[in-house]
Amino acid sequence: MGLRAPNTHAIIIFLFGLVVLLLAPGCATPPRQPAVPERLQNQAQIPGLEKIRYRIGNPGDMAEMAREGLESVRREQAYLAASGHPGPLPPAVFLAISGGGDNGAFGAGLLNGWTAAGTRPTFKLVTGVSTGALTAPFAFAGPAYDATLKEVYTTISAKDILAPRSLLAALTSDAMADNHPLWKLIAKYVDQALLDVIAAEYARGRLLLVGTTDLDARQAIIWNLTKLAASHDPRALDLFRTLMVASAAIPGAFPPTMIDVEANGQPYQEMHVDGGAMTQVFIYPPSLRIKDETHQLGLQQRKRIAYVIRNSRLDPEWAQVERSTMTIAGRAISSLIQTQGIGDLYRIYLTTQRDGVDFNLAYIPDSFNAPHTEDFDTEFMRKLYAVGYDMAAKGYPWQKKPPGFTAPSGINE
């Protein structure tokens, strides 16, 4: 997932208690409103804020997402024309930021070092999942928010993210920890001024997207935060913050985010959790063939460049595994998450190659081995931030393909 869960010892205690709880009848859990019925999934919307999200796999939503992408190009053309920009469209630069918990300090440092190098572009599209969703709005807003990124990823500690619950509270509630500290942190930095900046960029054809997981439907959801900001709906700021929290809500570790929707005129409630439950990082769904679609509509062709920041190491991390049920299970699950993230890189790479997009990948180098004593260890994050900053300030050595990839014979890499 994106944010790390509490430590292994706490997980073992929690799971043991969960077994006891399941064997004990009559224990209540937090109430919720009815989930959207399966037959109405594709109709569910937030009243008054329709078309600010796209349900992956729903043909109607994918068509709407494609339409939004094409409309963004037209808004960009109109803005450039009004600004007196002559000639062809500039390159479209995409930035995707993965999950990774306190490893997000690497991406924050890289972005700020990129600014220092003087080569950081203005991104046409920024996407984020989990800790990437916490970084993405500031990356989208530009270098004016570099100081905010640095402050968030070099001064906070675990107490700024979560408040552990007692075993009894965890077993009778919906998570091991309370994430009210994270809500307060986001409210401190994500204000109406930031929303106004993001709304203005939507009018210029730029897009900011974050991912969550609809746990009821087991579907990935992409939220268009630029369109939400530009709606100027009185609920926009609160919902913007809510979606940032939702994207980072590790199931079981942090409470899910409940979102009220309507379908077929009836009220329902969706349960949203960490977008990393579905994907660690994304740029756009592979079903969107951006090169073909822009060509068919007669839109101007342009150079496209994708930068992917993977807030994780990609080399295998060795550890002696104790011969115990929970240790083995925990190691296996973390391995699954790691390999899922690498699989996401392959998916993005193959999609960009199909669409003629220049692929560039950054990840934590295997030479980084600073002690990591606890989740959101401030000293660890400061050192990791410095690594990302220094590498980017000197000219980041972007990788042109995922680790271990070899193109089939006859295909250009």
Instruction: For residue range 224-243, list pLDDT tens digits in order.
Output: 999 999 999 999 999 999 99
Instruction: Quote the pTM value.
Output: 0.91
Mean pLDDT of the chain: 89
* 67-81, 82-96, 140-154, 309-323, range with greatest mean pLDDT: 140-154
Higher pLDDT, 362 or 19: 362
pLDDT for the residue 4: 46
pLDDT for the residue 12: 45
57-85 as b/e, with b when 16 or more CB fall inside 10 Å? ebeebbebbbebbeebbebbeeebeeeee
Higher pLDDT, 168 or 374: 374
* 57-61, 93-97, 165-169, 284-288, range with greatest mean pLDDT: 93-97
Chain Cα centroid distance, residue 281: 6
Q: What average pLDDT score do residues 393-407 get?
A: 91
> For the ranges 22-31, 145-154, 161-170, which has the lowest average pLDDT?
22-31
69 has pLDDT over 70: yes
Instruction: For residue range 35-57, list pLDDT tens digits in order.
Output: 999 999 999 999 999 999 999 98
pLDDT for the residue 10: 45
pLDDT-derived band at 408, boundaries 50, 70, 90: low
CA distances from 371 to 153, 170, 376 (A): 17, 29, 12
144 has pLDDT over 60: yes
pLDDT for the residue 16: 45
Burial (0-12, 13-18, 19+ Cβ within 10 Å), 132: buried
Q: What average pLDDT score do residues 363-369 get?
A: 95
> For the ranges 34-43, 203-212, 243-252, which has the lowest average pLDDT?
243-252
166 has pLDDT over 70: yes
Q: What average pLDDT score do residues 156-181 get?
A: 83
Q: What average pLDDT score do residues 169-179 get?
A: 79
CB 214 within 8 A of CB 44: no
pLDDT-derived band at 6, boundaries 50, 70, 90: very low
Q: What average pLDDT score do residues 306-321 get?
A: 90
pLDDT for the residue 310: 97
Q: 257: which strand partners?
A: 272
> For the ranges 25-39, 145-159, 252-266, 377-391, which has the lowest average pLDDT?
25-39
pLDDT for the residue 233: 96
pLDDT for the residue 27: 57
Instruction: For residue range 257-306, list pLDDT tens digits in order.
Output: 999 999 999 999 999 999 999 999 999 999 999 888 877 767 767 899 99
412 has pLDDT over 80: no
pLDDT-derived band at 104, boundaries 50, 70, 90: very high
Q: What average pLDDT score do residues 151-173 get?
A: 86
Q: What average pLDDT score do residues 405-411 get?
A: 66
- Rounded Cα gap, residues 41 and 36, in angstroms: 6
Q: Which amino acid is at 96?
A: A
Closest CA to 103 of 135, 125, 126: 135
